[in-house]
Structure 1
């Protein structure tokens, strides 16, 4: 058997050697995955509980299957996290197998990152070859926001893995118009909904239109296959919602983030359309409070350092690939993945840019697979067409534009590795000039030019990713980058521009041993050892004491869970031992029940201070 490879304008036939087939490819892929694993797993436990909110839910799931199924923040099942619980399921299972620790909570995310890189490589390789797959996988692995989120326990890591798996399945479906692979893609999207609700659906236009346009079968069958995939998505994502809606409200945890104890309300409101419009009942502030919307948002101070390193190159690669394949047949296997990954990037990027509700910079990790795929496909497509001046011109422009963008991003950290910026700038410009000379260079020399261009383009994001991995991260809003002198990464966890505190809203407290011991004493005599306003406050005390703590009001303290009357009944039934004093910041919407509860407790029970913490003994 023989392999056919292209070298310039010649066709070279290379014999496959039995037992040694594809050995260089396997070695390079293994090195990519090992390197990714090292970056994401190295010193992983240094961040402690990272996002204590989800760590507490994983702790609860490791102790109670009931809490695990619903995604409750405590093992007694008081209230759920304000997301669907698939990510909590994975972490909870890890805690059950390995015991509760920072490592057992964080390692599923790191493995999800390695899996996403492998799936992206596999998807791109099937249409554009091994080299394109390697470039794509390396670009994803070395994107700073990926190095952040695959070492952190937010749901985004699992979401990216599932969306990448859906894209891989769609690529497989496109090869032979396979309904089985397309149905599998729909199922992955459904589980993506169970991870982070409607955000998973942002890739639907990309997957659906790519199949509708390019699948090698008739229009009727294409539509039928898409209908089957849509059905699989509904089943995979809807079964849990149906179960929750059928279980009586008093027999399950309250649905955190909702005002009416409803998953559908949460999915369509606070975590759905409200994120687009800014009308999020129960939120602590949307719109401009989370950064100005607009087309420049992905390049701005909030998101630029997270994702923009190779974003210009990805956009130029998309335009280059579409131009070079403009006369290709409908089912062309180069243009189809360009449509898939390009629409993923454009639709998701436009949504993130223009939405007026709550948005955090780390959301940009959902763009990383599309950017990686477009960079890999575009680079190899242009390389194969290097005899065309337009192709080499666009390839050179992509490298040069990348150099300019990365230089601007590096200027924000002027004291960090000051030599890196000129190296990237001048190295990339030199690579761009050499790319323009490709048609006149020998084939072997051209390979070195291409390799140099890839390395110089990945150098800055790689360094920034390593710097990100070297920092500890905690709180609800982690951010990328090195430790800045006097900044959040210096001598402590890096938590982002909004910090990890805000009165316990975005960061969890770390109580002393005296408080933890007090909460744990006689805890078995109560359903909840304590109650406190806000989920992050509850998480800090729960993880320290190892006992259930009721998060009054949920994440923002604005959920009516419980109401004042409901809490008074819990106290009368001796289900709550301690109330920990304090409230969260005011909200312009949502329930005031948590404030009413705090006022009632303060007015009716005597306070005591232990380790700087105000406590009320509700058993007296």
Structure 2
């Protein structure tokens, strides 16, 4: 009896690693091609319906396509008044596309869609090297069918490039573990370093998982493992730090103001507004202020759940299952190492997102999607192969049922959208959960049928939600996943308040754009060549709308939030006196922020007191000449 109990509780013997010597079966190639083609169609079809998507970044891409200085620094306008509030790697890609193909919705958005296809391919390659092609294909499919992935790979925020580079970093970790390669672990540092240039310190959240996996599982001595990690750290510092050094050493008088900072410093932006401030909520210049303390339930809450929660509980279950499956494996076991990579990625990034008190938006959860997909794909395939063991079949059955129940709960939140789908998902999940327990006793055809039912149960909900997300145009600063969730710029409903720029409308008007009328466009374009900026207005989003519509630089007073000290009132008055700014758009009002500059408010009040207002297309305009 004791021997029987030990047999039932012990994990099955580990499978041999699917190393580089095990070639892909020929049948995997068409399956991979089909996955990538389907992903490309999903991310590219009807892409231009979103227009400029996030006009804030589209205007910066427009500027970079016209002026190399604006391209290098990530300026909001070609005259280089102020930069966006991020490092500009994603803008480098978009700016080059604009320069090559001209400014259009396609030239701005297609790079992100292609990054999505590349991310699916890279995730497949990473998972396949450890767990085989079946796990790689399943992971790639789960990733492609994650709603937040369809949202952000069809949008022009920096998250697309960030995730592609982080998945490539995971691939390099997996390669480095095969032979304790210092070259591949150094390339991991390079990938994450360039990820920093896409979205700053968020890229570093994967580093604990990557480092621990190499330290634990690399097949060499502890001394060499530490030296290799030190080399990777050096590669990371060089890849991420060269740009910071160049910008800090560049004379401030000959470059744009660093948006998002109060002292014109990219180090302040990195460590403050986009760094520690995101954790503590102490973000100088923010419009919101610190949020209440979070919890793990945040990822399952109403704002974030629709984008990422579909297989999140199953991924957490997969971590425990993979630890059990590899419990008796040697130190260098690559499945356990991969579990550290993906599980650590999910735990650290998910933990920070759950408990941070600063600015966070639902689309940030794209950074969790590769880990969720990799864990789901790897765990499902490993447990399916070991399903003759009662614990393995029980874990797999629990994962399918848990995923179906999660999808059911998510689908019940919208009773009008495909109301029948939640019942199909729940019933098929329950049926698959029962059949999995006895699937090892069925003939091969029957077992395959069970696998198909299980796939339908786990992917139907997230897949339908993903297709609905891709079919919905998205615009503004804060897009969200789901049917009809077009996103918004402020805190209201879809589209947010649209008032034509300036500060009227408060916070919402700063976070959304507008659609300038024909009369306004004609006004801005007339005599435009004789001015450096055809207009100035408070906030980058309103400025971006006028700049994209007119084709000429518009100065964004105060940057994204309207709270950066750029330009100062004295500088603005000097620009006006020299005829460099033609119009001011908008009316003065108060901006409530956490310690930001009030220079933009002061400028708006000075304009209103000094110049005569007129109304164009319902918008207040001051002729500064």
Shorter-chain TM-score: which interval?
Answer: over 0.9
**Distance in 2 between residues matched to 1:78 and 1:255, nearest whole Å:** 9
State the match for 1:354 in structure 2.
355
Matched ranges for 1:120-131 at <5 A: 120-131=123-134
Greater mean alpha carbon deviation, residues 173-182 or residues 503-512: 503-512
Residue 546 of structure 1, aligned match among 533, 551, 558: 551
Q: Is the Cα contact below 8 Å between 1:71 and 1:88 reproduced in 2?
A: yes
Q: Is the Cα contact below 8 Å between 1:471 and 1:494 reproduced in 2?
A: no
Q: Is the Cα contact below 8 Å between 2:489 and 2:513 reproduced in 1?
A: no
Work out whether 1:44 is the aligned partner of 2:47. Answer: yes
State the match for 1:198 in structure 2.
201
* Superimposed CA distance per residue, residues 199-235 of structure 1 (whole angstroms, 9 cap, x where no aligned partner): 0000000111111111111111111111111111111
Please provide the CA RMSD for this pair.
1.6
Q: Secondary structure at the match of 2:412?
A: helix
Give 1:586 deviation, angstroms.
Answer: 2.2
Report the CA distance shift for 1:292/1:517 in structure 2 as closer, same or farther (over 3 A): farther
**Distance in 1 between residues matched to 2:119 and 2:392, nearest whole Å:** 30
Calculate the TM-score normalised by the size of structure 2. Answer: 0.93
Q: How many residues align?
A: 594
Report the CA distance shift for 1:216/1:357 in structure 2 as closer, same or farther (over 3 A): same
Q: Secondary structure at the match of 1:83?
A: coil
Give 1:292 deviation, angstroms.
Answer: 6.0
**Distance in 1 between residues matched to 2:605 and 2:131, nearest whole Å:** 64
Residue 601 of structure 1, aligned match among 586, 603, 607: 607
State the match for 1:22 in structure 2.
25
**Distance in 2 between residues matched to 1:467 and 1:245, nearest whole Å:** 44
Calculate the TM-score normalised by the size of structure 1. Answer: 0.94
* Superimposed CA distance per residue, residues 360-411 of structure 1 (whole angstroms, 9 cap, x where no aligned partner): 0000000000000000110111112112100110110111111111111001
* Superimposed CA distance per residue, residues 311-346 of structure 1 (whole angstroms, 9 cap, x where no aligned partner): 011111111010111111110011110110000000
* Superimposed CA distance per residue, residues 526-576 of structure 1 (whole angstroms, 9 cap, x where no aligned partner): 111111000001000000000000000000000000111111111122211
Report the CA distance shift for 1:577/1:332 in structure 2 as closer, same or farther (over 3 A): same
Give 1:442 deviation, angstroms.
Answer: 2.7
State the match for 1:262 in structure 2.
265
**Distance in 1 between residues matched to 2:279 and 2:318, nearest whole Å:** 29
State the match for 1:501 in structure 2.
496
Matched ranges for 1:416-455 at <5 A: 416-455=417-456
Residue 578 of structure 2, aligned match among 563, 573, 591: 573
Residue 280 of structure 2, aligned match among 267, 273, 277: 277
Work out whether 1:103 is the aligned partner of 2:106. Answer: yes
Q: Is the Cα contact below 8 Å between 2:287 and 2:561 reproduced in 1?
A: yes
Q: Is the Cα contact below 8 Å between 1:478 and 1:496 reproduced in 2?
A: no
Q: Is the Cα contact below 8 Å between 1:58 and 1:95 reproduced in 2?
A: yes
Report the CA distance shift for 1:420/1:109 in structure 2 as closer, same or farther (over 3 A): same
Work out whether 1:225 is the aligned partner of 2:228. Answer: yes
State the match for 2:565 in structure 1.
560
Give 1:497 deviation, angstroms.
Answer: 5.8
State the match for 1:62 in structure 2.
65
Q: Secondary structure at the match of 1:609?
A: strand
Work out whether 1:387 is the aligned partner of 2:349. Answer: no
State the match for 1:313 in structure 2.
314
Q: Is the Cα contact below 8 Å between 1:210 and 1:339 reproduced in 2?
A: yes
Q: Secondary structure at the match of 2:358?
A: coil
State the match for 1:5 in structure 2.
none
**Distance in 1 between residues matched to 2:44 and 2:269, nearest whole Å:** 33
**Distance in 2 between residues matched to 1:598 and 1:324, nearest whole Å:** 65
**Distance in 1 between residues matched to 2:145 and 2:491, nearest whole Å:** 22
* Superimposed CA distance per residue, residues 433-473 of structure 1 (whole angstroms, 9 cap, x where no aligned partner): 01111232234422331232122201110000000011110
Residue 136 of structure 1, aligned match among 133, 136, 139: 139
Greater mean alpha carbon deviation, residues 498-507 or residues 432-441: 498-507
Q: Is the Cα contact below 8 Å between 1:533 and 1:582 reproduced in 2?
A: no
**Distance in 1 between residues matched to 2:219 and 2:278, nearest whole Å:** 37
Report the CA distance shift for 1:495/1:391 in structure 2 as closer, same or farther (over 3 A): farther
Residue 192 of structure 2, aligned match among 189, 197, 200: 189
Work out whether 1:245 is the aligned partner of 2:251. Answer: no
Query: What stretches of structure 2 of length at least 5 have no aligned partner?
Result: 1-11, 16-22, 498-504
* Superimposed CA distance per residue, residues 483-511 of structure 1 (whole angstroms, 9 cap, x where no aligned partner): 2xxxx65xxx6668644435432211111
Report the CA distance shift for 1:542/1:21 in structure 2 as closer, same or farther (over 3 A): closer
Residue 91 of structure 2, aligned match among 88, 97, 116: 88
Q: Is the Cα contact below 8 Å between 1:54 and 1:154 reproduced in 2?
A: yes
State the match for 2:519 in structure 1.
514
Q: Is the Cα contact below 8 Å between 2:568 and 2:599 reproduced in 1?
A: yes
Greater mean alpha carbon deviation, residues 502-511 or residues 440-449: 440-449
Work out whether 1:590 is the aligned partner of 2:593. Answer: no
Q: Secondary structure at the match of 2:620?
A: strand
Q: Is the Cα contact below 8 Å between 1:341 and 1:370 reproduced in 2?
A: yes
Residue 617 of structure 2, aligned match among 593, 611, 617: 611
**Distance in 1 between residues matched to 2:204 and 2:408, nearest whole Å:** 34
**Distance in 2 between residues matched to 1:239 and 1:337, nearest whole Å:** 30
Q: Is the Cα contact below 8 Å between 2:24 and 2:133 reproduced in 1?
A: no
State the match for 1:151 in structure 2.
154
Q: Secondary structure at the match of 1:478?
A: coil
**Distance in 2 between residues matched to 1:494 and 1:557, nearest whole Å:** 18
Give 1:32 deviation, angstroms.
Answer: 0.3
* Superimposed CA distance per residue, residues 231-289 of structure 1 (whole angstroms, 9 cap, x where no aligned partner): 1111111111111111111110000000000000001000000000000000001333x
State the match for 1:17 in structure 2.
none
State the match for 1:329 in structure 2.
330
Report the CA distance shift for 1:199/1:151 in structure 2 as closer, same or farther (over 3 A): same
